[in-house]
Every structure is written in C-alpha cells, then in structure tokens.
Structure 1
Amino acid sequence: MTNFDFSKSALRTIDLEAKAIASLSQSITEDFLNACQLILNCQGRVIVTGMGKSGHIGNKMAATFASTGTPCSFVHPGEASHGDMGMITSKDIVIALSNSGEVQEVVSIIPLLKRMGVKLISITSKNDSTLAQASDFHLNNQVTQEACPLNLAPTSSTTATLVLGDALAIALMEARGFSADDFAFSHPGGSLGKKLLLKVSQIMATGDQIPKVCLGDSFTDALLEMSAKGKGMTCVVDAQDQLVGIYTDGDLRRSIAQNISFHESLIDEVMHAAPSTISMETLAAQALFQMEEKSITSLICVDSDQNIAGIIHLHDLIRAGVA
C-alpha cells in the first residue's frame, strides 16, 4: 500500500467527474425549460426528495433553492410514508432524485402525489424508469462511468445531479431577478452577512476622527493632521466646510520626489482636487470594490447633500470582516 499512486487515482476521479458534468449539456432539453417554468409559477413550495446518497444531494439542492429565491424543503421519502406526506400540499412541486428511478421509498409515494395533483419533476439516469415515466418532466443525469473503480458507489452520478440542481436553481434565480439585497436577507449571519448587509455608515470614522484641513493651511499643517488621525490622508475643505480636495500618503511620496518644500507650500498647491467619495448608505462591500478598482486605501463618505460624513479606510473594512 505504501507504493500506491494516490495522485493517479485522484486525477482519474476528477477526470471522470468532469466528463460527467460536461455531458450534462445534453440534459438541457425542453423538459428542463418546462421544469423551470413550472417552478417559477409555483404557488407553493418546491419539495425535494431522495433516498441514500441522492437524499444527501437533495438536501443540498433544497438549501440552494431556498437561499436563491425559491422556497424549498427536503422531505425524506421513507418518512413521507410514515406521516411526512402531510408536509406536501397540492400547490407544491416535488423534485424526486433517484439514479435508477426505481428506489422503492420514492416510487411508493408517487400514487399519493398523483392523487393530490402534485406536479412531479424527476432526475434519474433512466428515461424508461418507473419514476421517469410517472413524472411530468424528467431530467436525465446519466453518466458513462462512476468514479468508483467498481462502477458501483454513486460518485460521478451524484456530482452530475448536484450540478443539474444548481443549474435549475441559478436559472430560476436569474429569471426572478434575485438581487444581492434579496440574498442578504436570507444570509444575515457570519462574514457573508457582513459583506452583504454592512453599510459604510456603520464602520466609518466620524466627527473629530475625520482628518481635515482648510484651504490656505500650510503643507506642514496637513502632514500633522494626517499623522494625528492615522487615515493616510486628509480632506481639504473651503470656508463653508465643503469638500474641495484630498491629500494622501501617495501624494506625499510624489511631493517628496518633486522636492516640494514642506515649510513654504500651502495645501492648495499640492492637494488632489477630485477626491473619490462614496455615499454613507453604500454597502461596505461596494466600498471595498471601489478601493480595489482605484488602488486606494480610503474613501471620503458623504451624506445625501454631499457633505463630509466620515472616512472609511481599508483597515476599517478588514476589522469588520468585509475584506
């Protein structure tokens, strides 16, 4: 066993599963389009069911549907026969997963679904299976070979089913116009929630923390303000406290290269007159994107009247878990 080529085995598995995914383009048939439309028009929920490995894939599929705008739950087919059929209503749509299309626990609930008038979508590898034939729409996930060297353990087939489920979920997500705000509503926790929900106004420096000098102030005054506030920049305002410019660490390096006198120059002479700003109501994730796009480390935050409301620095985004 010490001489076993693990890399060769792993690469073989990846190759076989990649081929299984590539072949799924043949599954985007009229039935796939009709299944999408059926789910899009659903007045109830989507119910995913499957046994064994298909059940594990079904659980993930249901979670993906639910988090991308399609109300969805997983119902175990074995439990459905012992009371959980009560979780399914006539307005729901069932997506049943079974590689063979003959799994007893799944097949046994088909008559009950038909009696309720529930629409049935199946994902199997056999078009002539009991489940496929009983379905309103059938999606074929047939693969040439499982990654398992015995061609027995569900590997390539479960991967194909998972990807086909993702294809359904994302097609529906796009058709609904599901937005980042919608996504944030169902993902309020953790770092993902922070990226989607946190606004600039919640983490920006405000009040006396804002580095600020006035037109006519000396170059030295500006450097002292930058050093005191530690934001790597200072705003420049006019007599009415309106933003007219910015001076940054980058500008300082350029000033040194140009031999500009610290003691004789005014901030007016060296400031940058077109500072990058961002609305204080903007998502913090957008602030990060803007910084990366412009290769800068801080932004001036403004209110609805374009007055200076605060400063957001890359370090603020890192501390908040956004970057």
Structure 2
Amino acid sequence: MTGAPGGADRSWRSADPSDPSAARNVPALLLTLRKAEFTGSIVVASTPGGTIHLERGLITAIETPGAPAVGTLLLRSGRIAEADWTAAVADLPSGAHGDLGAVLVARGTIGAAELETVCASALFDAAFALVLSRPGGWQVAEADAPARIALRPGIEPRRLFEETARRVSLLTRLGSPPGALARVRIRPAGQAGAATAGIPARYRELLAAATGRRTARDLGFALGRGVFAVMLDLVRMDARHLLHREPAPAAPGGPAIGLRTPPAGPPPGVTGPLPRRIPGRRAPVGADGTPERRAERTGPSAQAAPPVPTESTWQTEKTEKSAP
C-alpha cells in the first residue's frame, strides 16, 4: 500500500514469499504475511505513518493520523452520541484493548451491519491516506495489541491494493492527483453563496467548514467523513466553481540557503601563523620557509564518501523487526 501512488510499484513480485525480511515494500510484506497467516501489526514510519493490524494475514484495521478512525466517523457524523461511546468504553471487559465494537453492538448503540460498513470504510480510507506521502521504514510486531474496533475477518491485501489504486486513479483522471490535492487548503469561492440553493447538503456542509485553513484531511475530521469522499466532492465542487484552492504554505524556517555568518576568531586547530605562498611554488611554505606537504589521508576518512540517498531508495530501506 505504501508503494507508488496508484499502485504503479510492482516490485513486490520479486520478493521471496517465504521471507518477510526480503520484502522491498509494505505491499510485498503484506502478501508475505498473508501467506504466513501472521497475527500482529506493521508500524509504518512516514508522514503521517500509521499502524496496520492483521489477524491471520488479513487486514482488520489501519490507524493513521492521515484519516479519521472509526470512532471519529461515528461521533462526528452523529451516528453515535458521545455519552453512548463513553459508556461503551467503560464497559470494556479487558481494559483499553478490549473489543469495543462488540460492546457497542451488544449495548444496541449501533447495528452489527452498520458498524461493519463503517469499519470497512475507515480501513480503505486509511490505506488511501497512507499512499499520499512518501513512505519510510517499517517494524513488524507480533505481540502488538489489536485494534479496539476492527473489521473481521478482515480484508485480503490484494483487495486493498486494488481499491487504493482505483481511488488514486479516479482522482487523477478527474484532473486532481490526490497527492497534490491533499496539500491545498480550501475556501468557498466568491460566487458560492448564491449557488448553494441547488447543491447537495454535503456540499453545503463542506462550504461551511472550509475556512481557507483546512485541507481535505481537516475537513474529513471536522465532518466525520472519509478523506477520499471529501476529495471526490471537492473535485466535483471545483468543477462547479464553488470553491477556491489556496496554495500550500511554504515550509517553516525560510529558504534552505541563507547567509552564512563567519565564525569569530581563527578556525579550530590553528595555533600558529598561517602558511604563506611563494610565487612560483605550488605548495605553501611554513613560518621557517620550508615547503609544507599535504598530509596523506588514511583510514576511514580516506575512503570514498557513501552515496547520498535519493527518493528512489525508499523501496529497499526498512527497519523491520519481528518478535521471536
């Protein structure tokens, strides 16, 4: 899932299916763990990153700051009242790591079918959010606690890859690649107020929540909607000239290149007069008039500098750790 947006990265095909450490990316790892019927989690280190929960190799939940979780979708959308949610959490038989979904259903707070639908929606949306940023490494934890609300029995990895690729491809075909759309901030267009009478209610909610400081992710959290669903509506609203996209703000800290302040005093390690150069000589001479010779570089410092990592090296960089 954290391959190239749109599922273009197929390097998992060359991975050894019997060895998780041979996986070149998270999709390859998920396929390997599915064959091993692994139960545990994968912690993906990126921005925003997240945790992928698995049971017998099936993906049951994905938790990431990049997309609203099941609880956010239920509470912000009004499907469940705050008091009912708090009461269900208090009834957890096994503390914070109990099956909160089962408790909500047992209390009659939500139906089993509706909860399953929301769990699946949150899982697919979280996978979509993970591919919008450049991935880093990952860690595998066999003894990690399961998600409090999970989709069971879970989703096949290939099914998740296909749906994520479909969502990225759809937005791209509509002229709004999701990676770029995720970075812009939304505000209503000047003429949006006069055109709100005939638009769907969800469009009006987006216009009311779009303050010019919120991204699609922010709007999803505010309204209890998935990030993909919000992006799709924003693209359609943009086609109707209902909103304006604010450019992404510049990174804090100013430009990467700035004026250098010269240090005070002589450079470190200089204790005597500097060498002087005599016309006609290539090498400088010291204070006694004898030519100075450059010191030969030996040891590790004389070796060639390691190559600078590039954006394409992420496919083979990982910090996978598996419990014995």
Q: Normalising to structure 1: TM-score of the pair?
A: 0.21
- Structure of greater Rg: 1
Work out which structure has the larger RCO, using CA pairs closer than 8 Å and 6 or more positions apart in sequence: 2
Considering fraction of residues, name the structure with more strand: 1
Q: Normalising to structure 2: TM-score of the pair?
A: 0.21
Considering fraction of residues, name the structure with more helix: 1
